[in-house]
Every structure is written in C-alpha cells, then in structure tokens.
Amino acid sequence: MQRSESATIGLRNGQPASPEGAPEMKVEREITIEATPGEVWEALSEPALLRDWLFEDGDERELEVDEAEEEQRLAFRWHREGQGETSVVFTLEAVPTGTRVLVVERGLRVPVTWGPALNALASVSSMALA
Amino acid sequence: MRQAAADEVFTALADPTRRALLEALSRGAPETSSRLAAELPITRQAVEKHLAVLGRAGLVERTREGREARYEMTPAPLADAASWIAAVGGEWDDTLARLQRAVERRR
C-alpha cells in the first residue's frame, strides 16, 4: 500500500475565497490498491458498497453526485459539520501495481494566513500530525 | 480547535493589513507599533487597533519594555489550524484504507 499526502491553501486572485474571509483549502490524499480500476469502481459506484467504506459508523451523509465516469472519476458534493458544502472528487488510474485512487476535497475553510514563515510552520505541524 | 477561538482567528486573518503585520512579526524579534507602522501605509494608531484584534485571537502578545509596548507573534493558533488540516487528511487516509479493504474483500 502506498500513500502520499498534501494539503494546500489557495487564495483566489489573492483574495480570501470564502465569505468568512478565510482562505479556501483543498486536501489531497491517494492510495494504490492491488485491484483493477473496474474492481475499485464497483466499490465506488454501487451504493450499498459505497456506504460501507465512505462513512464512519453512524455518520451517513447525503451525496449530490455531479459526475460519474465509469472506472475513471466520481465527483460529488456533501456537507461537512461546521463547514457547509464541500466537493469531493475521486480519480482512478491504472498503474502497474493496481489502481491509484486520488481523492481531492475542496471548499474547506481553515483560518490560516499564508506567508513563507507561516507556510513552513504549518507544514512542520502537519507532518508531525499526519 | 475550539470554535470560539477558530472564529477569532478567522476574523483576525480576514484582513490583508493584519496578515501583513503577522508576516512582519513572523520574521522574529518583537517590534514596536511605530516600527511596524513605518513598514506599512497606515498610522501607528491603526497598527495598534489591528494588533489588538490579533491579540484577541491569541496570535500576537504584547509586552511592555520601558516606555513602549512591543509585540510578538505567538503562532499556536496557526498550529491548531495546521493540525485541523492534518486531521481532515487523516480522515481521508482512514476512508481510503476502508475502500482498500472493501475492494480486497471482494477479490
């Protein structure tokens, strides 16, 4: 199993993107699963299977599906507590060892200012906690 | 992160002048408001108002040294924000691990 991670903060046109004035953030994670994209897609596209892994016990949320491209891409919006609506995109890619699954969640709002010194500070503490 | 604290950090960072002040303070040594005002196109009084907002969010600490107050950055709330980012990422790590198990169970 391989994992990589990153968290980035983007300011649109140099301005905070959200109404609260905080920078909008996206989180990206990935995993490589020893299975074909078709097998992984099954777990993403069959609601009964999806429910089993996407939600922690008792934390079922409604999904507004925007795009479902077979064996390639699933995009939806959902609500995160204290955050409002965020968007999630799963992308599947066949790799020699199986299928690389990339997930990107956008629209998260975090209070962080983004100068070089603070950037360094934030990456140090994310690494410590990740 | 406590919600009240998070809101105050949000408010404090919403303003570009306050972000510039923090950036100046993050370079290290405590600064006086007049020195900070010299770097920005605003008055010392305006700088002090912004520093007070940053102070309420716990991002800046004020100490008195002789006649003039000095301001220092206290980045703990930002570390909280960074740990919040890490927590969301950690949730996705768990979710992807559950996906992996779900796929492998069906093979």
Listing DSSP states for A21-45 in one string gives SPPEEEEEEEEEESS-HHHHHHHHH
Interface of A with B in 20-79 (CB under 8 A): 20-23, 25, 27, 29-31, 33-35, 39-40, 42-44, 49, 52-54, 56
Q: Please answer whether residues B87 and B12 qualify as being in contact, where contact means their C-beta atoms are separated by less than 8 angstroms.
A: no
Nearest residue to B55 (alpha-carbon basis) of B105, B8, B102, B2: B8
Nearest to A39 among B27, B88, B106 (CB): B106
Tokens 């603070």 found at: A118
Which region among A63-72, A93-102, B21-30 has the lowest average model confidence (pLDDT)? B21-30
Which region among A124-128, B9-13, B101-105 has the lowest average model confidence (pLDDT)? A124-128
Cβ <8 Å between A52 and B98: yes
pLDDT > 90 fraction of chain A, expressed in percent and rounded: 48
Q: Please answer whether residues A35 and A56 qualify as being in contact, where contact means their C-beta atoms are separated by less than 8 angstroms.
A: no
Cβ <8 Å between B88 and A27: yes
The type of residue at A17 is A
Distance of alpha carbon B27 from alpha carbon B41, whole angstroms: 19
pTM check: above 0.80? no
**CA distances from residue A40 to A87, A102, B2, B50, B102 in whole angstroms, order as listed:** 20, 12, 38, 51, 9
Q: Please answer whether residues B81 and A129 qualify as being in contact, where contact means their C-beta atoms are separated by less than 8 angstroms.
A: no
Nearest to B100 among A1, A5, A109 (CB): A1
Nearest residue to A108 (alpha-carbon basis) of B25, B106, B91: B91
* pLDDT tens digits, A12-42: 333 333 444 455 678 899 999 999 999 999 9
Distance of alpha carbon A37 from alpha carbon A90, whole angstroms: 12
Considering A37-41, A122-126, B35-39, B54-58, the range whose residues carry the highest mean pLDDT is: A37-41
Pairing of strands A3-10, A24-33: antiparallel
Angstroms from A39 CA to nearest CA on chain B: 7
Categorize the per-residue pLDDT at B5 as very low, low, confident or very high, splitting at 50, 70 and 90.
Answer: low
Q: How many other C-beta atoms lie within 10 A of the C-beta of residue A121? A: 19
Which region among A7-11, A57-61, A74-78, B49-53 has the lowest average model confidence (pLDDT)? A7-11
What the block records as the tokens of A70 is: 């077979």
Angstroms from A130 CA to nearest CA on chain B: 5
Please give the domain boundaries of chain A with CATH numbers for all domains. Answer: 3-127 (3.30.530.20)
Which region among A60-69, A94-103, A114-123, B11-20 has the lowest average model confidence (pLDDT)? A114-123
Angstroms from A71 CA to nearest CA on chain B: 14
What is the pLDDT, as a whole number, of residue A110? 61
- Is the pLDDT assigned to residue A121 strictly greater than 80? no
Distance of alpha carbon A4 from alpha carbon A37, whole angstroms: 19
Contacts 24+ apart (CB under 8 A), A55-62: A56/B94
Q: Please answer whether residues B34 and B67 qualify as being in contact, where contact means their C-beta atoms are separated by less than 8 angstroms.
A: no
Closest alpha carbon within chain A to B73: A118
A115 to chain B, any CB pair closer than 8 A? The answer is yes
Region A88-108: what's the mean pLDDT?
95
- Is the pLDDT assigned to residue B2 strictly greater than 80? no
- Is the pLDDT assigned to residue A124 strictly greater than 50? no
Categorize the per-residue pLDDT at B7 as very low, low, confident or very high, splitting at 50, 70 and 90.
Answer: low
CB within 8 Å of B97: residues ≥ 6 apart: A1, A31
pLDDT > 90 fraction of chain B, expressed in percent and rounded: 42
